[in-house]
């Protein structure tokens, strides 16, 4: 099981990015959360099997929202991240 924190930058707010990210997470059975940050970026916490997390990261980098555009993604593994039971959109 891999747990990652991601900060996604680019055109990621106001384009359905969080909800499309949730759709991708649900398809892949990824658990976690996605939220807008005050600086215009989107924060994602995700957990799942290693290979599935890798696929999730690829899809986020490609922007799950057709209107979005990802320019940078910071990814950090965090084994101490909370164990989510589902994937939720917040704020």
Domains of the chain, first to last: 2-78 (3.30.70.100)
Global confidence as pTM = 0.96
Residues 10-35 have a mean pLDDT of 97
Give 34's strand partners. 44, 89
- 70 band by pLDDT with thresholds 50, 70 and 90: very high
State residue 85's pLDDT score: 96
Tell me, what's the pLDDT at 55?
98
Instruction: Work out whether the CA dihedral 12, 10, 40, 3 comes out positive or negative.
Output: positive
What is the number of alpha carbons within 13 Å of residue 69 lying toward its C-beta?
A: 3
Judged against a pLDDT cut of 90, whether residue 91 lies above it is answered with no
Average pLDDT of every residue of the chain: 97
Catalytic residues: 18, 36
DSSP bridge partners of 75: 6
């Amino acid at each position: 099981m891999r747990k990652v924190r991601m900060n996604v930058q680019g055109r990621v707010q106001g384009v359905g990015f969080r909800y499309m990210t949730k759709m991708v997470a649900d398809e892949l059975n990824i658990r976690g959360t996605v939220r807008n940050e005050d600086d215009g970026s989107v924060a994602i916490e995700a957990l799942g099997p290693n290979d599935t997390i890798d696929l999730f990261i690829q899809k986020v980098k490609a922007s799950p929202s057709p209107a979005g555009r990802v320019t940078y993604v910071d990814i950090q593994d965090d084994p101490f991240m909370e164990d989510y039971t589902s994937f939720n959109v917040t704020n």
